[in-house]
């Protein structure tokens, strides 16, 4: 009986430790338990759409910066202004 209690306590402590590390380091390992409250239909956590949108916008800005800083583009703009 003591072995069972020790085993159960060890498994419980490991679970709590991994859950804490997952939340602290934002690893995305934990199951999304929001379905218990009726908030979600999925079983795993999904990436935040705003993060993906920010990454896409950053790539677009980088592409526009390379176009604008291009010397030929700047020369064409100066010629158009004349």
Dump pLDDT digits (tens) for 70-81: 777 676 777 788
Q: How many domains does the chain have?
A: 2
Distance CA 54, CA 11 (A): 39
Using the predicted structure, report yes or no on whether residue 53 has a pLDDT greater than 80.
yes
Whether residues 38 and 55 fall in one domain? no
Residues 54 and 31 both lie in one domain: no
Contact 55, 49 (CB under 8 A): no
pLDDT for res 11: 94
| Residues 25 and 4 grouped into a single domain | yes
Same domain, residue pair 21 and 59: no
pTM summary value: 0.36
Q: What share of the chain is helix, strand, coil (3-state, %, to 5)?
A: 75, 0, 25
Domain encompassing residue 32:
1-44
40 and 6 inside one domain: yes
Residues 8 and 40 in one domain: yes
Residue-wise pLDDT tens digits, 22-41: 888 877 776 666 656 666 55
């Amino acid at each position: 009986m003591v072995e069972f209690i020790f085993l159960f306590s060890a498994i419980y402590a490991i679970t709590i430790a991994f859950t804490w590390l997952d939340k602290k380091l934002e690893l995305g390992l934990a199951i999304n338990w929001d379905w218990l409250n009726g908030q979600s239909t999925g079983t795993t956590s999904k990436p935040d759409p705003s993060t993906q949108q920010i990454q896409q916008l950053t790539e677009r800005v980088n592409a526009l910066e390379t176009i604008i800083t291009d010397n030929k583009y700047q020369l064409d703009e100066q010629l158009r202004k004349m």
